[in-house]
Structure 1
Amino acid sequence: MRFDELFEMRKLTGTKLKDYIRSNGFSKVSFCKKTEISRPTLDKILNGEIDSKSTFDKHLNKILTSLSIDPDTLMGFSPRMQSTDAVFSENAPIDYQVNDKAKMEYDLLQDILNLCSVYY
């Protein structure tokens, strides 16, 4: 795959790169340090917002070189499915109900975790 094609599909390229970053344990900050690309530039790449082909090519080349992958590897990447282990206790009473305050706190914590996964 050539850089011309990646530029034409820059939204998909950004999505694939975002999946690659997350699946390989990088935060956006650590990825920027590794690739020597600024955070705002990385965000533009991930969102497919770079309209200059030369700028896109320059930064994507830096990314691919620092990761030691080629464009085909990036575009063929699919994130690993994460298994989720359910944790439960059989000590709870059969008719146990979570109170409204606890449910609200749990939902808030889930929202914070989801926000962190999007941001990092």
Structure 2
Amino acid sequence: MRFDELFEMRKLTGIKLKDYISGNGFSKVSFCKKTEISRPTLDKILNGEIDSKSSFDKHLNKIFTSLGIGPDTLMEFSTKTQSVDAMYSQKALINYQMNDKAKMEYDLLQDILNLCSVYY
């Protein structure tokens, strides 16, 4: 994949970047600090809303340089293919299903974490 092609596919590039950010354990704030890109600019990149090719290229180049990756790495990234070391209990049920209350509480905690990533 050529770097110049990413601007034409900026919506897909944003989706892949979102996957890369979450798949590598970054919050939006930590990602902005690492890449030295402002949060509003990152949101525009993630949503495919930057219409200026020079601005898009400049910020994407900062991202690639900061992370030490290239266009192919980003566009081929898939959270499904990443290996994750997980700890689990030997006594956990094999086919455990959360009940409705637990699912609601889990979703609420995820919302709180997302809010924290916005403000911290």
Fold shared per TM-score above 0.5: yes
Moved beyond 4 Å, runs of 4+:
81-86, 116-120
Name the residue aligned to 1:109: 105
The residue number in structure 2 matching 1:46 is: 46
For residues 46 and 67 of structure 2, what CA distance do their matches in structure 1 show? Answer: 16
Q: Which runs of 5+ in 1 are unaligned?
A: 89-97
Asked if 1:32 is matched to 2:32, the reply is yes
Instruction: Kindly report which structure 2 residues correspond to 1:1-120, keeping only aligned pairs within 5 A, or say none.
Output: 1-79=1-79, 80=82, 87-88=92-93, 103-104=100-101, 106-115=102-111, 120=117
* Counterpart secondary structure, 1:8: coil
* 1:11 positional shift: 0.9
Per-residue CA deviations over 1:31-54 (Å, capped at 9, x if unaligned) read 000000000100111111111111
Change (3 A) 1:52 1:64: same
Q: Which residue of 1 aligns with 2:96?
A: none
From the CA coordinates, give the structure whose radius of gyration is larger. 1
TM-score for the superposition, normalised by structure 1: 0.74
Shift of 1:85: 5.8
Instruction: Give me the identity figure in percent.
Output: 68
Where 1:44 maps in the other structure, the secondary structure is helix
Once the two structures are superposed, residues 1-24 of structure 1 have per-residue CA deviations (whole angstroms, 9 ceiling, x without a partner) of: 223210111111111111111111
Q: SS of the residue aligned with 2:12? A: helix
Q: Deviations over 1:70-113 (max 9, x none)?
A: 1111111111376796845xxxxxxxxx7xxxx44x34322224
Matched pairs, number: 106
